[in-house]
Amino acid sequence: MVRLRIRYRCVALAFILSQVLVGFWFFQPMDPAKQFLKRLFTEGGQTILHLRDQPTVTMYAAYGKDLCVREGTLVKASSEGNCVCRPGWKGKRCGVPEIMQRTDWMQNPDLSKNIQLRKRPRRVILVSPFIHEYDIFEANVNELVGLVDVFVIGETNYTVASNNSLPILSKLKDGWLKDTQNRIIYVPVRESDLKKRSFVQNLVQTGLRLVSDIRPDDLFILTNGEEILRRDVVTFLKLFQGYPLPVKCQFKHYMYGFYWSLPENSNLTKPEVCASSFQFLANAFEYQVSRLQEGSVLEEDLNFFTSHEQPVVNWTIPEAGWRCHLCLSVENIFQKLSSRSESPPKWLLPSSSYSSISPFIQRLIKFGQDENLEPVGVPVHNIAEEELPPYLNRNKEKFAHFFKNPYETASIHNLV
């Protein structure tokens, strides 16, 4: 009888353990790539991505009742009442990058007096339309990992050579950016959609419908596929409140690679609105990207926000990141310029083929001329590491094509 009881107990224990193991297996979190594919039931039919608050410990280091911003703090050297800042960071909480200290509003006591650290960090949604700029977007994602909660990206089969091709979706399904796919919302924009709204407007309206629990004070960031934002800038915008809206970004500008720099007076180097709270986006711009990019705020909206202790001032973050225009392979430059629905280059005819036009594009790269045949600017040799996006700098072998002009020493006769 005793042996029978022991046997029953062993069987029961084995059964319980098996159920626990099955439970662990069944409820274990899927890797990001599988989560993305699960949400992407069909091309264009996705389930909702739910925003969640990140644990504050990932953003702040606590010392008693005091908080220090981890990104800007030497954590081991700090203590209660004493946040020790890393080089390049300022402020009582080590959360203000030096680049932000140089902005006009920070020097204005009336505007900077309300700036304060948030107890609950904003969630950040970044919308980025791009065509072929895979390397730049990969760098942007990896620069901002842990700060951006959702990346809304998309493509349209109207802007690629093959009308049925969706190369971004194919790359995602093949595992591109697999470690961050659980934060990606993919939006395919059809040609019929472009007749109603612009490509970017489609991304904003469709992408935001696939995100739940957006709070009014969450942060909306708009970039294009050629831009890489500085991590310290996004950290500040995410963790602080009281700064003026809307936010403009000024980028360091390059072309073809980080070996041709654009002059500051170029049409491509003008600062544009890049960030806003969702409350401001909704009330001041009515979710209209064209109005946001213009940065024009109606008088009644200005009075409304100012009365609620939200400064409304056009201001610019200097050197908020890097913009690398046409930093693509020759083939992708041809594809991108060919797909322009507005103002295509005069030298690129509808009948032009890649084989016939590629030598001409190579000459543009060699001599530093843009698509309008204007001189790009100054050639850059041996660019300093601190001038580069850190992710690209850490992966120079993979992104070697960004740092050296591939046609610099090529014979002009080989480019004809």
11 pLDDT higher than 70 = no
Q: Is the pLDDT of residue 74 over 50?
A: yes
Same domain for 109 and 143, yes or no, is no
Q: What is the pLDDT of residues 149-205, one digit of tens each?
A: 999 998 876 544 445 567 888 888 899 999 999 999 998 887 777 778 888 999 999
Q: Which of 117, 134, 168 is the last residue of a domain?
A: 117
116 pairs with which residues across the strands?
Answer: 241
Instruction: Kindly tell me if the per-residue pLDDT of 2 is higher than 70.
Output: no
Give 318-332 pLDDT, tens digit per residue: 999 999 999 999 999
Q: For residue 146, which of 97, 94, 187, 182 has the smallest C-alpha distance?
A: 182
Tell me which residue has tokens 């401001």. Answer: 280
Instruction: Express each pLDDT in 378-397 by its tens digit.
Output: 888 888 888 899 999 999 99
> Taking 50 as the threshold, does the pLDDT of residue 79 lie above it?
yes
Contacts of 120 (CB under 8 A, 6+ apart): 53, 56
pTM, entire model: 0.87
Q: What is the pLDDT of residue 308?
A: 65
One domain, residues 242 and 338 = no
Q: Are residues 307 and 375 in the same domain?
A: no
Q: For the chain, what is the domain count? A: 3
Q: Is residue 46 part of a domain?
A: no
**Residue 411 to residue 114: CA distance in whole angstroms:** 60
Examine residue 76 and state whether it is found in any structural domain, yes or no. Answer: yes
CB 111 within 8 A of CB 311: yes
* Residue 405 forms part of a structural domain: yes
Q: Looking at the domain assignment, is residue 33 inside a domain?
A: no
| Residue 306 resides in a domain | yes
Residue ranges with strand state E in 326-413: 378-379
Same domain, 287 and 195: yes
Residue 408 and residue 284 share a domain: no
Same domain assignment for residues 113 and 232 = no
Pick from 307, 127, 266, 105: which is nearest to 201 by CA?
Answer: 127
Are residues 118 and 239 in contact, defined by beta-carbon separation less than 8 angstroms?
yes
Residue 109 falls within a domain, yes or no? yes
Asked if residue 49 is part of any domain, the answer here is: no
pLDDT of residue 15: 53
* Residues 171 and 260 both lie in one domain: yes
Average pLDDT, stretch 54-67? Answer: 93
pLDDT single digits (tens) 126-142: 999 888 899 999 999 99
Q: Which of 214, 215, 166, 212 is nearest to 186 (CA)?
A: 166
Q: Which long-range contacts (CB under 8 A, 24 or more apart) does 161-168 make?
A: 161/335, 161/338, 161/339, 163/191, 166/43, 167/132, 168/134
pLDDT of residue 341: 67
* Res 29 pLDDT > 70: no
pLDDT of residue 161: 45
In angstroms, the CA 308 to CA 296 distance is 19
Q: Of 117, 142, 161, which residue sits at a domain end?
A: 117
Residues spanned by the domain of 96: 56-117
Token readout for 97 is 């990058």
Do both 222 and 338 map to the same domain? no
Could you say which of 299, 325, 351 is where a domain stops? 325
* Band of pLDDT at residue 12, cut at 50, 70 and 90: low
Q: pLDDT per residue over 337-374, tens digit each?
A: 887 767 778 888 888 888 889 999 999 999 999 888 88
Which position has the higher pLDDT, 75 or 1? 75
Q: What is the pLDDT of residues 250-280, one digit of tens each?
A: 999 999 999 999 877 666 678 889 999 999 9
Local structure of residue 98 (DSSP, 8 states): H
**Residue 24 above 50 pLDDT?**
no
Q: Indicate if the pLDDT at residue 303 is higher than 60.
A: yes
Residue 372 and residue 293 in one domain: no
In a domain, 88, yes or no: yes
Same domain, 295 and 243: yes
- Asked whether residue 147 falls in the same domain as residue 194, the answer is yes
Q: How far apart are alpha carbons 219 and 242 in whole angstroms?
A: 13
Give the mean model confidence (pLDDT) for residues 14-30: 49
Give me the CATH number covering residue 265.
3.90.550
* Together in a domain, 165 and 309: yes
